[in-house]
């Protein structure tokens, strides 16, 4: 009976490990989700021309292991408020594909008050909203993909408890200010042409180029781009209103001359960087080939020398196993055999 109970507990533990970062603390008097923003944070917001109730945006970069909080200012554009270190994220660069793959998601997500988790077993958390419209049209699955505390991750983005407490409070105050949601942008890395070129052989390169447009738009305008899905790809700042059919044709988009110029420049830079990466790979391969050839030649010379001295030894009855060449490369002198009387 005890063995059966132990086996059941192990199965439950494994199952919990595969369903990402869900879990709730029991109801208690814990008030961690209502921690006020510190005076330092409030002063920082004032100094940048913002306030706790203003809109916010969050960007995550996997490779750099950073989470950025941006706040809207009195000018209407967003400014970077603070960058937080990510303790850990699960998996490798690339989007989450299916439940249990321990991958952390990538893409564009909309965070509403209903996705906030004040009683997370990982201190505090908010759900990324995975799978979103794009993920679902590709058949991707997964549950409870969170940004949370506790510095431990199973498909999530783990922050320090102090970090998630501050991020959670910023989101809470933004909702209180009348904002119905905030945008979460998750990227594998800073989306430069050079970095994409380094990853050109990745099976995710097409997806990354797709979300790069949203990255570029925010970089240029400092305003969250409106995103939707059509033809099974992201579309940003589409003309017209209403939700799009994720399998249907894409409509026109609002033209942005600066974006077009940037994309053209990046295409040229990307092509040059890919060529440079290919040349680098070819040079490294040639060097490795030369090194292997040199090592093979040295080994062959060593075997030839060994065979030569072995042959000399055999001329004297095979008793020269202990004869060692001197530093000159010549064989050591062999004592004369005793005279037979």
* ∠ CA 279-65-111, rounded to 5°: 120
Residue 317 is predicted with a pLDDT of 57
* ∠ CA 315-319-323, rounded to 5°: 95
Residue 286 is predicted with a pLDDT of 76
CA 304 to centroid of chain Cα atoms: 52
Collapsing DSSP to helix, strand or coil, 304 comes out as helix
Nearest to 198 by CA among 91, 93, 67: 93
Residue 324 is predicted with a pLDDT of 53
Neighbours of 276 (CB within 10 A): 13
The DSSP bridge partners found for residue 85 are 66
For helices 205-221 and 257-315, give the axis angle rounded to 10 degrees. 140
Residue 340 is predicted with a pLDDT of 57
Residue 52 is predicted with a pLDDT of 98
Q: Is 263 exposed, middle or buried (0-12, 13-18, 19+ CB in 10 A)?
A: middle
- Going from the N-terminus, what domains does the chain have, and what CATH number goes with each? 18-189 (2.40.440.10)
d(CA 178, CA 161): 26
Q: For 188-232, write each residue's pLDDT tens digit.
A: 999 999 999 999 999 999 999 999 999 999 999 999 999 999 999
Catalytic residues: 148, 156
Nearest to 77 by CA among 232, 201, 217: 217
The DSSP bridge partners found for residue 187 are 61
* ∠ CA 212-213-215, rounded to 5°: 60
Contact (CB, 8 A) for 143 and 188: no
Nearest to 187 by CA among 339, 58, 9, 60: 60
Contact (CB, 8 A) for 164 and 149: yes
Nearest to 215 by CA among 57, 16, 74: 57
Burial code (b: 16+ CB inside 10 Å, e: under 16) for 171-203 equals bbbbbeeebebbbbbbbbeebebebbbebeeee
Residue-level pLDDT, tens digit, the chain, 341 residues: 545 444 444 344 334 444 557 665 655 457 899 999 999 999 999 999 999 999 999 999 999 999 999 999 999 999 999 999 999 998 999 999 999 999 999 999 999 999 999 999 899 999 999 999 999 999 999 999 999 998 877 679 999 999 999 999 999 999 999 999 999 999 999 999 999 999 999 999 999 999 999 999 999 999 999 999 999 999 999 998 789 999 999 999 999 999 999 999 999 999 998 987 767 767 777 777 888 887 887 887 877 777 766 666 665 555 554 555 555 556 655 655 655 54
DSSP 8-state symbol, 253: B
> 90 to each of 48, 63, 205, 292, how far by Cα in Å?
34, 12, 20, 37
d(CA 38, CA 311): 86
d(CA 164, CA 166): 5
d(CA 173, CA 271): 44
d(CA 97, CA 108): 15
Q: For 284-328, write each residue's pLDDT tens digit.
A: 777 778 888 878 878 878 777 777 666 666 655 555 545 555 555
């Amino acid at each position: 009976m005890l063995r059966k109970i132990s086996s059941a507990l192990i199965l439950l533990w494994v199952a919990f490990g595969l369903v990402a970062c869900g879990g709730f603390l029991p109801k208690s008097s814990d008030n961690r989700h209502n921690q006020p923003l510190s005076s330092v944070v409030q002063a920082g917001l004032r100094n940048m021309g913002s306030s706790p109730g203003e809109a916010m945006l969050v960007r995550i970069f996997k490779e750099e292991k950073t989470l950025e909080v941006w706040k809207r200012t009195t000018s209407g554009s967003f400014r970077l408020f603070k960058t937080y270190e990510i303790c850990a994220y699960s998996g490798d660069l690339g989007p989450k594909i299916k439940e249990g793959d321990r991958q952390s998601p990538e893409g564009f997500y909309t965070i509403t008050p209903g996705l906030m988790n004040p009683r997370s077993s990982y201190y505090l958390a908010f759900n990324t909203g995975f799978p979103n419209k794009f993920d679902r049209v590709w058949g991707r699955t997964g549950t409870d993909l969170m940004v949370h505390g506790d510095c431990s991750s199973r498909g999530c983005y783990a922050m320090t408890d102090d970090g998630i407490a501050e991020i959670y409070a910023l989101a809470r105050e933004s909702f209180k200010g009348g904002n119905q949601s905030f945008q979460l942008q998750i990227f594998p890395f800073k989306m430069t042409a050079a970095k994409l070129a380094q990853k050109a052989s990745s099976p995710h390169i097409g997806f990354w180029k797709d979300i790069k447009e949203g990255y570029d738009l925010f970089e240029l305008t400092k305003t969250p781009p409106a995103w939707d899905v059509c033809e099974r790809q992201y579309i940003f700042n589409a003309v017209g209103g209403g939700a799009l059919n994720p399998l249907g044709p894409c409509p026109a988009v609002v033209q942005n001359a600066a974006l077009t110029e940037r994309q053209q420049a990046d295409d040229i830079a990307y092509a040059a960087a890919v060529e440079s990466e290919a040349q680098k790979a070819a040079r490294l391969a040639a060097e490795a080939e030369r090194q292997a050839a040199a090592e093979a030649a040295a080994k062959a010379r060593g075997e030839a020398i060994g065979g030569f001295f072995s042959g000399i030894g055999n001329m004297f009855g095979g008793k020269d196993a202990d004869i060692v060449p001197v530093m000159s490369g010549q064989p050591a002198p062999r004592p004369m055999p005793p005279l037979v009387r």
